[in-house]
Amino acid sequence: MTFSRILIANRGEIACRVIRTAQRMGIGTVAVYSDADAHSLHVAMADEAVYIGPSPVTDSYLRADHIINAALKSGSEAIHPGYGFLSENPGFVDAVVKAGLVFIGPSADSIRAMGLKDAAKRLMEKAGVPVVPGYHGEAQELVVLAGKAREIGYPVLIKARAGGGGKGMRKVDDPNDFAEALGSARREAKSAFGDDRVLVEKYIAKPRHIEVQVFGDNHGNVVHLYERDCSLQRRHQKVIEEAPAPGITAEVRAAMTSAAVKAAQAINYSGAGTIEFIVDATEGLKPDRFWFMEMNTRLQVEHPVTEMITGLDLVEWQLRVAAGEKLPLAQKQIPLNGHAIEARLYAEDPAKSFLPAIGTLHHLAFPSVVKDGEVRVETGVRAGDTISPYYDPMIAKLVVHGTDRSSALAAMESALNQTEIAGTTTNTPFLAALIRHRGFSAGDVDTGLIDRDLAGLIVPVATPAGAKELAILSASGLLKRPVLGDPWTALRGYSHHNRLAYPVMLEEAGQIARFGVSVLGDERYAISGLGTTVELRVRHEPPSWHITGKGINLLAKTVAIPHGVAVLASGTATTFSMADPFLLAEQAGSAGDRLTAPMPGVVKSVRVAVGDLVKKGQILLVLEAMKMEHSITAPHDGKVAEIVSESSQVKENSPLVRFEEAPADTTKN
């Protein structure tokens, strides 16, 4: 039995992923979309698409009634939830079943059993699954939680009992900081999950995050599909995942996978699920040093690495199990081949605390062939799409497979170097630095690696020598790809008697920089305005340009973007803006001594008042954006003249704080 038509209650990359498998199986697909997603890739890929509401998730992708109505009206038999949104909402599952539809996932009872971390851990203790020491009780008063933290012993971890993804999670090293951390965790948990209750656990000094993919059916069968290591995290969110886990032994794998299967059996689990363990790696991986952390009752973002090492399609398994079939393979039939690594490519700025970077993807290209392995790209965007403030800023997942870990690492480095994105800031250089990190490449990983070495991982990307010159040449319009049989293209702009200088103006740090470009012939050019006249040779080596000259030897692509040029080389994009002198003149002198919003959001708390004297680095307010809290600090000393009010909804670049010069300190001589 298989379905003839399903609805995907999700968007972006995972919606596209489900659509591909369903269509390969001959199953019709129905997409849902909000205003912001009207022209998105998942809408274009599906056989049918249904509008479900405005852009905010609360008005669209979290509207269970709209989604179920869309499924019924489109003739769908089942709903695939993807991940996030309503995927782990037991009330949604109940509503789907009540409407006579099939939910492609576990039962509502299984989700409820694992949905709250405290209750899930009590259940796992009864099932004989090891659980990390901590307080998982119902009492939520500050005095109780602080007392339990003292009993457990610092450092401790405050965790939202609902949800995951690092939201509502705070590490506390000092008892004096517990109350502040608890308040922040509760606010974030309330915003993200509608539940501000927390649990408190012992913080493991050198933790690794290793999870086991499990799969069950409605006939009592449960298997595991080996483990994944997800230890490379920032702000408790996964960045790079791999399978198998580095350094794991057969003994540890047997203990961990056995515990995972036992956990799934304890709740009669059906469908794809992940048992997450926290592992004490201070003395390597030991069979008695891992503890149950939580279960994700859905398909995971990182499931492609499991697919790469097993050769299986987990979405196909989901569809077959939901349709009533038995698991396609028994435990002994599930293969384990090679090594796979996944990197999450985001539109974000690591140098600015990983703030999401909203913008248009003017150019987007992914590799199809990589060194020492194979590559797979999971994405929900195309060139020309916009990274919206309403949703997760993921651009793509790069997934590679090699015969062993070293070849997989080489394949990932190759994939990152060949990825081309222009139009927004991305974490590509950060990911490349992680792949090259000595500890990670040696397999010595833990969840604190990124935080410990953050300064070394976020090194400003230097503009390649020759990139500016190539941008100037491209902006001049004189660089032309040779046309077969046409000798005149190479002489465009050439003058034999008087060297013509074609003007180019770029915007640099708010100022107009003027250059002149002359054609010398024989693929040679001269650029004035760089302090001295520079002569260069530029050859077209498809699909790139090879620019050489004094101190310059660069192979790169150029891409025209609105009001500028992007130079693409080794996985990085350097953008040069074409100057608009009229706009610059209008803006000159208009910037006051003020602090603006780095992105759209809601002001959750204001820490200072008008008239307060503040110091550089002092927290002024807390801005919630994309369900994460961001502390906005003073860029310099000053006196607060104006400040936005609490609960305000702000747009990107809208004013938050205006300063005036602080009065002189008359107490000093």
Active site residues: 298
CB-CB contact of 393 with 626 (8 Å): yes
For residues 47 and 49, what is the distance between their CA atoms, to the nearest angstrom?
Answer: 7
The DSSP bridge partners found for residue 400 are: 341, 375
Tell me how many helices (H) and strands (E) the chain has: 18, 39
For residues 172 and 198, what is the distance between their CA atoms, to the nearest angstrom?
Answer: 14
For residues 304 and 398, what is the distance between their CA atoms, to the nearest angstrom?
Answer: 10
Per DSSP bridges, beta strands 5-8 and 28-34 are parallel
Cis link prior to 543 (omega < 30° from 0)?
yes
Helix (H) or strand (E) holding 472: helix 467-476
DSSP 3-state assignment of 357? coil
Helix (H) or strand (E) holding 418: helix 405-418
CA nearest neighbour of 359 among 386, 339, 335, 334 = 386
Residues 6+ apart with CB under 8 A from 631: 619, 622
Query: One-letter amino acid identity for 486?
Result: D
CB-CB contact of 86 with 94 (8 Å): no
Helix (H) or strand (E) holding 237: strand 237-243
What is each CA distance from 365 to 1, 379, 396, 410, 573, in whole angstroms? Answer: 39, 11, 11, 19, 12
CB-CB contact of 618 with 633 (8 Å): yes
Residue with tokens 């209008």: 586
